[in-house]
Amino acid sequence: MKRPRRIAAIVAALVVVIVAVLAIVPLFFSGQVARRVQAEVNQRVNAHVAWRAAGLSFFRHFPNLSLSLSDLSVVGVGQFQGDTLAAVGRVRVVLGLGSVLGTVMRGSPLVIQGIEIDRPRLHLLALEDGTANWDIARPAAASAPATASRPLVVSLRNFAISNATVAFESRQSNVRATVAGYSQTLSGDLSQSRVVLHTRADADTVRVVFAGVPYLDGVRLGLTAGIDANFDTKSYTLQDTELRLNGLALAVAGSARAAGDQLGLDFTFKAPDTDFRSLLSLVPAIYAHDFARLQTSGTFAVNGWVKGDYGARAFPAFAVNATVNDATFKYPDLPLPARSIGLDLALTNPGGSPDRTVVKLSRFHLVLGANPIDAQMTLTTPVSDPDVDARVAGTLDLADVGRTIKLQGIDQLAGTVAANASVRTRMSYLKKQQYQSVAASGSVDITGLTVRGDALPQPLAIHQASLTLAPQHARLRSFAATIGSSDVQASGTLDNLLGFALHQGTLQGSATVHSKRFNLDEWKADTTRLQIIPVPANVDLTLNATVAELLYGKLTMTDAAGGLRIADQRVTLQKFQMNALGGQIGVTGYYETTDLTKPTFDVNLSLTSVDIPRAFQTLATVQALAPAARYATGTVTSSLHLGGTLGQNMLPVIPGLVGAGTLQTSPLVMRDFPPLQKAAEVTRLAFLDNPTLQALNASFEIHNGRLFMKPFDARVAGVGMKVAGSNGFDQSLQYTLDLSVPRSLLGGAANSALAGVMSRARQAGVDVATTSALPLAIRIGGTITSPTVSADLGTVASSAVKSATQAATQAVTDAAKQKTSAEAARLVQSAEQQAARIRADAQTLADKVKEEGYKQADSLTARAGGNPLAQVAAKAAADKLRQQADEKAASIVRIAGERADSVVAAARRQAEKVGGGA
């Protein structure tokens, strides 16, 4: 018995050792293998390939090794520099054990036997010239040095993808597609030159848009296929292949052959099942709701083919045909069926270019309730210049829609939409405004439309709307609606409505909009808190708006009016005026959501006689910028420029605000204002407690998270003060109050010192009673609710002594100077009187000289009589006499003035000597 136990123990020990070796050995080799793989991959692709972590394991695919790469990324270079082609959560590569040992020991090729890819995110992009970001394989001759001609060997037997997301865009073909929740398995020995591969693929949702028209929208995809692959000839033939789109199954047959950079295609497909139910499954609104119970009748047929080369310079021919005849569908628990459904749809392309595709809906017919609806459309040159010829006619009773189709999130649907319109145009006509080449006519009328349900934040009711189509404009003749409690009336014109409907260009227009009451809060999805309101793109509308009552948050505005423009994802207010907060508010500026995570604003605000308590209670910005307003009663008139970003709650991001402005207030009553209460306590100045401030006039700047008040004057109880400093958006304070305090309001040490000095001055015979006001500086810090106040009262007393002493000294000096200055003043006064007499006598003499000269001139002119020649000669002589008289008079006045000035100057010099001697 002991021998078997000993053998069992030895075997168990060997198993433990082997397991330990299998667990530990990969730790020594994982770094070398990962570096080798990364080097070889980067040599083979024209992109940057990297991963966060790598590890080797024997256990998952024993006896082979599995190499796991976490957070793998493939990033483009050159034309796609920095673009991420792929981001993968995890990649697991199964490697042959012998090849791993050979690679470590001798640099032999690595053999890949399997690949598992988990959570890949792919972004595939082809530019207008056909250049694709996924075309990253290097030419074979340049893929590796000559010394390592085959460093990597692919001998795949299994390939798997799970939970992939793929986004595809071909700008050359004007095709966009997205696939979400995609998984695929592929099995077969890819080391053989010819093998039959088996693959299965599924996707949760597929969306395909061609030339702006969605052909698949939220469709579930399934694929099973056998592929006869010949790697020598690079040809691939489908066997037993089925493609399933929701409930529509398509049998696919054909082959593909690779030739250079092109792929030769030859496929056919058709729907084996002709039950209309299969085609109806492609309609998302129907397939998503109780589709299993849907009752259908009628037949359909879908078939098509693809044949030709596909590549950067080639495009295959194809045809897709779908027909529906006399079909109906009905939910068993809804009263109305959709009936008489007919469809003829064809997509054709002769090959050579995706722009040669023709989409022709030659017949669409549907009866809903008692109303038939008909439509036709032809679309050509969809890539270069979409050419559309479309017509729709019919009346839709929306209540019948709710009786026929299950609408998720809609509780009430009513009203009628009547359309009879036709359009024939090219996109280039609209872009170039060649409206003479556009044929558009007809109208769309809406009456009594009501939509209510969880899908809408507020009930929508369009009481009446009428739109008339014309080549250049779509005229909104009337529009009357309510959204929740908000009403809207509008009229105007819309340009490029057709281009906008075809996802080409911008919707332009102008309108006059009026509302009796508009509640902006009802536009938010969550009424419990404010949220960003996005501004739509591809819209350029100019509105002349008036709103009798406008509500937003706690703010109620009345008689709002002004211009409003919506363009480039920006709402611009132009001279918007409104009554609010007991006064008037004017706004000019913009709100922009080009980056929806960081909406921005820049506004100029004018406030006129706004009630301060109401402004503080209503506006978060006032609470942050002017926290003292909480304790103030009065009104403010202000101009403010403010800019910054908004948070997700539609409130300004306070630390990033930048602005400046001015303010003027009425007299302000400050009640229970902690900083002034503290200042009154420290200085024992009672007038600082609950003061009434006279009207203020100040200016300020906002930056770096603070509001900086420029120095301004204020008066409290007749006391003047100069205020300067700043307050932070964190409620911190840094202010200085420079006061000139009357002595009668001071107490304690300051008044005692001042009284002693005044007594000594009076004993000296000097009156200093006018020394009654003292300077006092108060520094305020801390926060609004917990302020700190400092004021040195010893300095106040010292200042009082100094001021009184200076006043007394000045009074003695002035008295001494008064005795000498009187004599000096008499000297100057006497000289000025003498100078005045000199100037007066000179002016009298000058007037006499001038009068005598003018009399002589007049006499000379009179003696000339009626002789013309004598008159000419007399006039010249008279003018000469008058000129001489003027010059002589001016000379007399000038000489007298110079003499008078010299007399006064001499007297002043003498007065200075007298004053100096004193």
Q: What is the pLDDT of residues 1-27, one digit of tens each?
A: 455 555 444 444 444 433 333 444 444
Per-residue b or e along 155-180, where b marks 16 or more CB atoms closer than 10 Å to that residue's CB: ebebbebbebbbebbbebbbbbbbbe
Which of the given ranges, 257-271, 874-888, 895-909, has the highest pLDDT on average?
Answer: 257-271
Give the length of the chain. 918
Is the preceding omega at residue 675 within 30 degrees of 0, hence cis? no
Beta carbons within 10 angstroms of residue 544's beta carbon: 15
pLDDT at 143: 43
**pTM of this prediction?**
0.61
Mean pLDDT calculated for residue range 155-162: 79
Kindly state the percentage of the chain with pLDDT values over 70.
78
Q: Is the dihedral of CA 550, 555, 558, 560 positive or negative?
A: negative
Asked if 386 and 361 count as a contact pair (C-beta separation under 8 A), the reply is no
- The angle subtended at Cα 123 by Cα 119 and Cα 128, nearest 5°, is 165
pLDDT band at 324 (very low <50, low <70, confident <90, very high): very high
pLDDT > 80? residue 148: no
In 654-732 the beta strands, taken as DSSP E runs, fall at 658-665, 668-670, 692-693, 697-703, 706-716, 719-728
In angstroms, the CA 274 to CA 324 distance is 9
pLDDT > 70? residue 147: no
Q: What is the pLDDT of residues 468-517, one digit of tens each?
A: 988 877 888 899 999 888 999 999 988 777 667 666 667 888 899 999 99
Asked if 662 and 639 count as a contact pair (C-beta separation under 8 A), the reply is yes
In angstroms, the CA 381 to CA 352 distance is 13
Torsion of CA 814, 819, 825, 830, to 10 degrees: 170
Q: What is the mean pLDDT of the chain?
A: 80
Mean pLDDT calculated for residue range 789-803: 58
Specify burial of residue 744 (Cβ count, 10 A radius: 0-12, 13-18, 19+).
exposed
Asked if 333 and 355 count as a contact pair (C-beta separation under 8 A), the reply is no
Closest residue by Cα to residue 317 from 347, 351, 346: 351
Mean pLDDT calculated for residue range 776-796: 80
pLDDT band at 224 (very low <50, low <70, confident <90, very high): very high
pLDDT band at 896 (very low <50, low <70, confident <90, very high): low
For the chain, the first-to-last Cα distance in angstroms comes to 141
pLDDT at 729: 84
SS3 state of residue 174: coil
Closest residue by Cα to residue 611 from 587, 629, 623: 629
pLDDT band at 102 (very low <50, low <70, confident <90, very high): low
Closest residue by Cα to residue 394 from 413, 415, 368: 368
Mean pLDDT calculated for residue range 128-146: 67
Beta carbons within 10 angstroms of residue 606's beta carbon: 16
pLDDT > 60? residue 104: no
In terms of pLDDT, which residue wins out, 860 or 760?
860
pLDDT band at 445 (very low <50, low <70, confident <90, very high): very high
In angstroms, the CA 781 to CA 682 distance is 14
Q: What is the pLDDT of residues 810-831, one digit of tens each?
A: 554 554 455 556 666 776 677 6
